[in-house]
Amino acid sequence: MPLIVDLVNPDLALMLPQLIVLGLAILLLVADIAVPKARHGVVLTWMALIGMGAALIANFTMVGTNESTFNGMFRADDFSVFINLVVLSGAILSIMVSSSYLEGHIEAGSMPLAEYYVLLSFSVLGTMIVGASGDLLMIFLGIEMSSLAVYALTGFARQRVSSLEGALKYFLLGLFASAILVYGMAWTYGATGSTNLNDIARSLSGVVTDGKVEASLLLALLLLIVGLGFKVAAVPFHMWTPDAYEGAPTPVSAYMSVIPKVAGFAAMTRILVQGLGPLRDEWVILIGVLAVITMAFGNIVAVSQRNVKRMLAYSSIGHTGYILAGLAAFETINPNGEISVASVLFYLFAYAFMNIGAFAIVTWLQARGSGTDLEDFAGLGSRSPLAALAMAVFMLSLMGLPPLVGFYGKYYVILATIEADMVWLAVAIVLASAVSAFFYLRVIATMYFSEPVRETPRTSTPLLGFGLVSMVAGTVLLGIFSSRVLDLASDWVQAFSVPI
Amino acid sequence: MLQSYAIIGLMLLTAAVMGSSLLIVGRLIRPSNPNPTKLGVYESGVPQVSPPRARYTPRFYVVALLFVIFDIEAIFLYPWAVAFDALGLYGYIQAIVFISLLLAGLAYEWKKGALEWV
C-alpha cells in the first residue's frame, strides 16, 4: 500500500521553515501565560524576532531542493524558497516596526502584544504554505490561514471605530472573494479531474494543441482571477483596501500591504503559471488589462489623498498593477531567459522593503504623538533630518528612481513586457509612474520646503530605528545587487518544469 | 474563444433570470395574509417569551469553541486508535504532538480566565 507509506513517512525536513514558524506561534501562546506581564514587551518581541530569523536561516538551507511530500500537496522548491525569503524578511521588519507602537499601548491594555505576534506568525505561516503548495486545496488553506489572521489584526485597535470598520469591510469582502476563489477551484477540478497543479498542467497540455478551450475551463479561469484579484487588491476588486489600510493600526497596515499581497501573487503564480500555464493565451490578456486598470486607478486616485496612510494604500494598489504586468508578460516555462515570473518575485521583494519602510516612518511619527496627514510631515527635514532622509529614500524608491531598488523592480517588469511583445503594457507602466511621481514628491516637498507646524518630541524607539536603518540599507543595496537577487528568483523555472 | 465567453455569459444570464424569476413569480401568485401569530418567531409551537435579538454573553462563544476543540480531537484520535498497529511509533509521536498542541491551547484558555463562569 504505497499510499499509507507516503502518509506515514512524510518528509518533514522539507517543511523546516514552516514548522519553525508554527512552533514559534505555539510558543508565543505559551509564553503569554508563562511570562509575567511586565516583561512581555522584551521577551515576546525577541522571541518573535529570533523565531523568524531561525526560519529564515533554515530557508536558506533549502535552496536548490525540488521535492514534494504529502502526496504532492506540499512542495519545497526554489519558488517556495524565494517566497519564504520575502515573507520572512517582511515579517521581521514588521515586528521591528510593531514593537514600539504596541508597547506604547500596553498600558491602556487595548492591544495585547502576545496575541498580536501569534496572529502575525499564523498569517506568515499561511503565506509560506501558499508559496510551498502543489495543490489547489493547500493554496486555499494557506490563503485562508493568512487572511483570517490579518482580518483580526486589522481590527486590533478595537477601541477605535475606524479600525473595526476597516476590519469588517475587509472581512466581508474577503469572505466573498474566498467563496469565488473556491468556486473557481471547483470548476478547475471539474474540467481537469485533479486538484494537483502538475496533474492539471498535464491534462491541459493536450487541450492547447487543439487551440480550442472549453467554456467550463474559461469560467474557472475567470473565477480564479477574480478571487485572487480581491486578495492582491487589483482594481475593480480593491474597494476594501483604503478603508482597511487607514483603519488598521499603522504597523498592521505595513504588514498587510505586503504579506497578504505576497500570498495572493504566490497563489496566482502557482495556479496560473504552474497549473494553467498551457492556457497562457487566455489569461495573459485578462491579467494584462487588469494590470493597466489597476495601475492607472491606483496612481490617479492617490494624487488627491491628503492622508499619508490612505495615499500609501492607493499607491500599493498601483504597485499591484506593476506586479500584475510582470505576470501578464508570461510566455512559457522556458529554462533560458524567461524573466516574467522572476520579475514578479523580484518586485515583491523590493516592494516589501520600501513599502514597510514608508509605513515605518508613519509609525515613527505616531510614536511621537503626530497624526498621519500630510501636514504632519511639514518641516520634518529640519525637525528630524534622519527620519526625513529615510522617508525620502522610500518615496524615491517607490517612485522608481535609478540607484534604488524600486527602479530595478520596474526595470525588470518593463523588460519582461517588452520581451513578450507587449509594448502597450510597458508604456502604461511608464505613464503610471509619471503620475505617481506627483504624490511621492509632494511628501518630500512637504518635508523639506514647508514650515514645521509642531515639534517632534524625543522618544526612544531603538528597535524601530534599527528596522528603519536596515530598510534604507535594503532599499539602496538590493538595487546594486539586483542581478544576484534576480538570479535567485530566476530559479523558479526549474521548480515549475513539469515532466509530461 | 469569444464563443466560450458567450457560453459563460449565457450561464450567468440563466442564473440571474432563474433566481429573480422564482422570487417574482412567488410574490405574484402567493396569497398575502399576515397576522401577528404568523409573523412571530417559530419556537416549536411555544409562545415567544422574549425578543429573539437579545444580546448574550460571549462566554457561550468560548464554550462552543472548547466543544469544537475537543470534538475535533476525538474525531482525529479515533482513526488513529483504529489504525494504531499500522501507524506504529511514528503515528504515536504525531498523536502526542497533536494532543500537546491542543493542551497548550487549553492551558492558554484556562489561564486567560475563559473557563471562569461568573
As averages over each run of 10 residues, the pLDDT of chain A (500 residues) reads 51 88 92 84 89 94 84 88 93 89 64 87 95 92 94 87 90 93 94 89 74 81 93 89 90 92 94 88 90 93 90 93 92 72 91 92 84 84 87 92 89 91 92 92 89 73 83 86 81 69
Q: Does B111 touch chain A (CB under 8 A)?
A: yes
Q: Does B113 touch chain A (CB under 8 A)?
A: no
Res B29 pLDDT > 70 = yes
State which H helix or E strand residue A67 sits in. Answer: strand A67-69
Mutation target to probe the B interface, by most B beta carbons within 10 A, among A33, A212, A217 is A33
Tell me how many degrees the CA angle A305-A307-A310 measures, rounded to the nearest 5: 75
Residue from A99, A26, A61 nearest A463 by CA: A99
Q: Does A282 touch chain B (CB under 8 A)?
A: yes
Indicate the Cα dihedral angle A392, A394, A399, A401, nearest 10°: 80
Q: Of residues B71 and A455, which shows the higher confidence score?
A: B71
Predicted pLDDT at A424: 92
> How distant is the Cα of A255 from the closest Cα of chain B, in angstroms?
26
One-letter amino acid at A438 equals F
Predicted pLDDT at A1: 40
Contacts of A219 in chain B (CB under 8 A): 8, 11
Q: Which residue in chain B has the smallest CA separation from A114?
A: B108
Give domain status of residue B90, yes or no.
yes
Nearest to B5 among A4, A30, A218 (CB): A218
Q: Does A5 touch chain B (CB under 8 A)?
A: no
Do the beta carbons of residue A178 and residue A162 sit within 8 Å? Answer: no
* Cα–Cα dist A118/A313, whole Å: 25
B16: domain CATH number is 1.20.58
* Inter-chain CB proximity A26 and B101 less than 8 Å: yes
* Cα–Cα dist A289/A293, whole Å: 6
Give domain status of residue B118, yes or no.
no
Is A292 exposed, middle or buried (CB count within 10 Å of its CB: 0-12, 13-18, 19+)? buried
> How distant is the Cα of A275 from the closest Cα of chain B, in angstroms?
20
Residue from A228, A83, A233, A246 nearest A160 by CA: A246
Instruction: Give the mean pLDDT of B87-100.
Output: 86
Q: Which residue in chain B has the smallest CA separation from A31?
A: B108
Verdict on whether the full-model pTM lies above 0.95: no
* Cα–Cα dist B61/A79, whole Å: 40
**pLDDT tens-digit readout, A474-494:** 888 888 888 888 888 887 777
* Cα–Cα dist B92/A145, whole Å: 27
A160 Rama sector, left if φ>0, alpha if ψ -120 to 50, beta otherwise: beta
- What's the Cα-to-Cα distance from A464 to each of A109, A169, A453, A499, rounded to whole Å? 21, 29, 24, 47
Residue from A381, A342, A341, A339 nearest A361 by CA: A381
Number of domain units in chain B: 1
Q: Does A3 touch chain B (CB under 8 A)?
A: no
Q: Of residues A260 and B32, which shows the higher confidence score?
A: A260
One-letter amino acid at A237 equals F
Q: Does A9 touch chain B (CB under 8 A)?
A: yes
| Per-residue cell: A313 | 494604500
Give domain status of residue B116, yes or no.
no
Q: Which domain, by its residues, includes B34?
A: 2-111
Please provide the DSSP assignment of A434-473 as one string.
HHHHHHHHHHHHHHHHS--SS-------HHHHHHHHHHHH
Nearest to A218 among B8, B87, B111 (CB): B8
* Cα–Cα dist A229/B72, whole Å: 33
Q: Does B28 touch chain A (CB under 8 A)?
A: no
Q: Which residue in chain A has the smallest CA separation from B6?
A: A215
* Dihedral of alpha carbons A468, A469, A474, A477, sign: positive
Nearest to B1 among A8, A9, A282 (CB): A282
Write the DSSP symbol of residue A272.
I
* Cα–Cα dist A102/A99, whole Å: 5
* Inter-chain CB proximity B104 and A26 less than 8 Å: yes
* Inter-chain CB proximity B111 and A30 less than 8 Å: no
Nearest to A215 among B7, B104, B107 (CB): B7
Do the beta carbons of residue A21 and residue A125 sit within 8 Å? Answer: yes
> How distant is the Cα of B9 from the closest Cα of chain A, in angstroms?
10
Tell me how many degrees the CA angle A189-A191-A194 measures, rounded to the nearest 5: 35
- What's the Cα-to-Cα distance from A262 to each of A186, A457, B21, B91, rounded to whole Å? 23, 36, 42, 34
Nearest to A214 among B4, B90, B108 (CB): B4
Q: Does A208 touch chain B (CB under 8 A)?
A: no
* Inter-chain CB proximity B105 and A30 less than 8 Å: no
Is B60 exposed, middle or buried (CB count within 10 Å of its CB: 0-12, 13-18, 19+)? exposed
Do the beta carbons of residue A411 and residue A320 sit within 8 Å? Answer: no
Q: Of residues A208 and B14, which shows the higher confidence score?
A: B14
Mutation target to probe the A interface, by most A beta carbons within 10 A, among B8, B82, B87 is B8
Give domain status of residue B30, yes or no.
yes
Give domain status of residue B84, yes or no.
yes
For A451, phi and psi rounded to 5 degrees?
A: -70, 140
> How distant is the Cα of B111 from the closest Cα of chain A, in angstroms?
6
- What's the Cα-to-Cα distance from A71 to each of A10, A103, A166, A336, B74, rounded to whole Å? 8, 44, 39, 30, 25
